[in-house]
Copies of this chain bind each other. A is one copy, B any other.
Amino acid sequence: MFLLNGERRHCVDVSDRGFQYGDGLFETIAVYQGKPLFLQQHLDRLRAGCQRLFIPYPEQDQLKAEVKQLCEGSDTAVLKIIVTRGSGGRGYRQPDSIVPTRLLSLHPFPEYPANFQTDGVVLRFCQQRLASNPVLAGIKHMNRLEQILARAEWQGDAIQEGLMLDYDGHVVEGTMSNLFFVKDGVLYVPLLTYCGIVGIVRQKVVSLAQYNQIGIVEKQFDKTRVLEADEVFVTNSVIGIWPVKQLDQQCFKVGRITRRMQQWYAEARTEELKL
């Protein structure tokens, strides 16, 4: 199911700068009972990304109407929203008048084994690093070769996610998730000022920690800090919160703070879907 600039089409002109240069942004949103979860937060991040890249943010009411049109009648699904700079300009130079392309698409919700939530997942450290570029950090833009190359480092079902470092050796995030770890009752989260994507669930976890008076520290950490943690978990909008039971050769228990955070997150999700 696709809506390309409001029409039921799934074929884009090859001159679209999203195709030529990855010149755009995207959002990946979980849909439950036809309702997109934390839609406004996703749209706010999309708007912030548009501002950063000088792409005119699409008319929000129209976007929301198209979201509704696409999601209504669906049950559990994944909604993807893409906004590109559209066609035009010469080479890298943007067109004088930008007409963004917007694409909404609905996809099946991935069937993850239930024990990923309960027992945890297996991670590895990737060789591929994340380059630091503050201008592009935090936003969910479409230049994703680094993540593609990192994900290409492993196949099969034994490993669920890979963690990526920056070129100074700081652990930043997973190829498709954000990272948290717990040590001595304090929650730690990597700083994303120089690279990485500021996830919607990451931000929700930070708020839940603050609201529930769990100490939270955001800074740059090297591998050792993560490997010496008491608990580790990863987050994104589709998986929610996955505990990490193993990272390379290091094993972790699924700890108390991780369990409480999963509980608070599930409650926040239920509340949000009632609205």
Contacts and interface: CB of A to CB of B under 8 A. Distances in A.
B14 A142 contact: no
B103 A22 contact: no
Contact of A145 (B19, B110, B141): B141
A105 interface: yes
B133 A146 contact: yes
A149 interface: yes
A67 B131 CA distance: 35
A2 interface: yes
Contacts of A14: 2, 4, 10-12, 82, 103, 105
A92 B19 contact: no
Copies in the complex: 2
Interface in A5-36: 10-23, 26
Given A12-B19, A54-B152, A167 B94 contact: no
Contacts of A76: none
A175 interface: yes
A148 interface: yes
Interface string A236-268: 000000000000000000000000000000000
A74 to B, nearest CB: 19
Interface in A78-111: 82, 85, 90-94, 103, 105, 110
A10 B15 contact: yes
Contacts of A150: 92
A229 interface: no
Contacts of A54: 149, 152
B142 A22 contact: yes
In this complex, which of A92, A135, A167 has the most chain B Cβ atoms within 10 angstroms of its Cβ?
A: A92
In this complex, which of A11, A19, A136, A144 has the most chain B Cβ atoms within 10 angstroms of its Cβ?
A: A19
24 contacts: A4-B14, A10-B15, A11-B11, A11-B12, A11-B13, A11-B14, A12-B14, A16-B19, A18-B19, A20-B26, A20-B142, A21-B148, A22-B144, A23-B144, A53-B149, A92-B147, A92-B175, A93-B152, A94-B151, A129-B133, A131-B131, A131-B133, A132-B167, A133-B146
